[in-house]
Amino acid sequence: MQLYRSHVLVCGGTGCTASKSDKIITEFETQLENSKIQDEVKVVLTGCFGLCAEGPIVVVYPEGSMYTMVTVEDVKEIVEEHLVKGRLVKRLLHGEDGDNSDKSLDSADFFKKQLRIALRNCGVINPESIEEYIAFDGYKALGKVLTEMKPQEVIDTIKDSGLRGRGGGGFPTGIKWDFAAKQQNDQKYVCCNADEGDPGAFMDRSILEGDPHCLIEAMAIAGYAIGANQGYVYVRAEYPIAVNRLKIAIEDAKKYGLLGKDILGTDFEFDLEIRLGAGAFVCGEETALMTSIEGYRGEPRPRPPFPAVKGLWQKPTILNNVETYANIPQIILKGAQWFSEIGTEKSKGTKVFAVGGKINNTGLVEIPMGTTLREVVYEIGGGIPNGKKYKAAQTGGPSGGCIPASHLDTPVDYDSLIQLGSMMGSGGLIVMDEDTCMVDIAKFFLEFTVDESCGKCPPCRIGTKRMFEILERITGGKGEEGDVEKLEILAKNIKASALCGLGQTAPNPVISTLTYFRDEYTAHVKDRKCPAGVCKSMMQYVISTEPCKNCGICARQCPVDAISGDKKTPYVIDQEKCVKCGICMEKCPFKAIFKNV
């Protein structure tokens, strides 16, 4: 085995790949071929490091130096300066300008408060190499359960760990497995939900891209625990990199005898197949997902019976999402007590969040349960850009709710978020600043739900549409007395009567914004004003005559010829023609144009 003095790890996640990280890898290999250290340095494709805001990311070990926003043109300098001469390329190092004395991966503020369990191998190993996964204790947990543990012991370990489903509902994983294990049937199934339809969510995708073997190992362990010999991974077709790496991993696992018959010399048999989803949000709901795997239109089924009793093809089935499975091997290897000591009393372990919106460090973070929202936003996330104030954070995607500034110190766990009218969800966390209209945000998420409703039940199909129409009316400056009350009545009825969890949680963004930002609804309806200046129908761009120099720049820049005037006549904006694009205000050199909200 060849030993290297340096390893160059290059992010190969979707975000960095879109920014040409594949070409960066090629350029590193080319530059190294032309150097004297070709045999001393290994270039490694990895998954996502997490700090997506500063990609493409390159980390050089053993120093752990993290270079950000690397371009193909930067590679030659990194090779010549760092790898050949041992001098850091300071202009590319992560961190503030100035003190670059210790800008290693471990010292970065973004990582200090994180605890990576589900993401432990992402950004560390080559996801397309089964050998690297095995070198990092891969498949050791599977070997342990097959040779040292009985199926019920595996289930009891997961129960004792306190692991709850990371896909949204938070149901105890071990209890779900136990239900399925106790069913007497000739066939059982293990399913993985990798559909991930929430706007702004990419946790499961990143695990599949960075550590696909972890999912395979965990699903095989689940199969052993409940007595299943077949598994299915339901993944979005819009995740081509994740799908390709998962295919490679499955093929390699079969070659190594880690899938198929007589796994690791035992009589245990387990196989795995991929099923591609067409991007329907409703297929994130477990019964709709199983209906889709069976070849039918993805629509939810009434429960009970629950999938653990009658799931895929009416056989006992367990379904967990990618992140839930990613915790399993570590729980088996390190023990239930180790995992249960992380987090809070009722929310054990860690949670992965895709942090986006108005925040400096957008990306993927994994934090112990109980970490406060303030810590996530200001310490890990780096705060709000341009000195703006935090206004709210949406957790749980379209099924969640908004958390205002007054609750910034709330611990992030299942129960605390539900008490605030939100939910953990799969892990999307969208941060909003003071310039956000909360009525418009509620409309955005509800529009998504209306578009994605499968249409099977009237409360979701019709009720959410009526709610959206009211919100459109309010944000369009045509709100009527009683509209807010109608929204509340509709929300309550939909939650109580929709068929599946997606329909039942669809009103949450409206309910939470009404709870914490009711004054904005009142301003829209009664005063015909949008306090944030977002709803275009309620604002005007106006030219102030005093600072205006009659230069005509605004008129020349206006795309719809809504501005008239000349050197002798004051310039004015025709509000009927104006499309509220804001170009005139942006281009005015004298700051004579302002937004009247």
CATH of domain 539-596: 3.30.70.20
Tell how far CA 596 is from the center of its chain.
Answer: 36
- Distance in angstroms (rounded) separating the CA atoms of residues 170 and 165: 4
CATH of the domain spanning 350-433, picked from 2.60.40.10, 3.10.20.600, 3.10.105.10, 3.40.50.2300: 3.10.20.600
Is residue 428 within 8 Å of 197, Cβ to Cβ?
A: no
Burial (CB count within 10 angstroms: exposed 0-12, middle 13-18, buried 19+), residue 480: exposed
Over its C-alpha atoms, the chain yields an Rg (Å, rounded) of 27
Which strand ranges, in their side-by-side order, compose the sheet holding 390-395? 363-368, 350-357, 428-433, 390-395, 401-404
In angstroms, the CA 305 to CA 29 distance is: 56
The pLDDT, as a whole number, for residue 107 is 65
Locate CATH 3.40.30.10 in the chain.
6-112
pLDDT at 101: 46
CATH architecture label of 130-339: 3-Layer(aba) Sandwich (3.40)
Domain with CATH 3.40.50.11540 in the chain: 130-339
What's the pLDDT score for residue 275? 96
The string of DSSP codes covering 438-489 is HHHHHHHHHHHHHHH----SHIIIIIHHHHHHHHHHHHTT---TTHHHHHHH
Q: How far apart are CA 320 and CA 167, in angstroms?
A: 7
CATH of domain 438-527: 1.20.1440.230
Residue with tokens 């970490």: 371
User: Cβ of 406: how many Cβ atoms within 10 Å?
Assistant: 9
Nearest by Cα to 178 from 372, 34, 316? 316
Task: Say which CATH architecture domain 6-112 belongs to.
Answer: 3-Layer(aba) Sandwich (3.40)
Measure the CA–CA gap between 106 and 56, rounded to whole angstroms: 18
- Alpha-carbon distance of 583 to 588, in angstroms, equals 9
Q: Are strands 6-11 and 230-236 parallel, antiparallel or unpaired?
A: unpaired
Q: Where in the chain is the domain with CATH 3.30.70.20?
A: 539-596
Residues of CATH 3.10.20.600 domain(s) within the chain? 350-433
Which of helix, strand or coil describes residue 365? strand
The two three-digit tokens of residue 1, written as one number: 């085995």
The residue ranges of the chain whose pLDDT is under 70 are 1, 96-107
pLDDT of residue 570: 86
pTM above 0.95, yes or no: no
Residues whose CB is less than 8 angstroms from the CB of residue 176 and which lie 6 or more positions away in sequence, other chains included: 165, 308, 318, 320
**C-beta of residue 357 within 8 angstroms of C-beta of residue 53:** no
b/e per residue, 432-442, with b = 16+ CB within 10 A? Answer: bbeebbbbbbb
Residues of the chain with CATH 1.20.1440.230: 438-527
108/142 Cα distance (integer angstroms): 34
Angle at the Cα of 139 from the Cα atoms of 135 and 145, rounded to 5 degrees: 140
**Nearest to residue 424, comparing CAs of 166, 199, 55, 126?**
166
In degrees and rounded to multiples of 5, residue 164 shows phi and psi of -115, 155
Q: What six digits make up the tokens of 593?
A: 């144009």
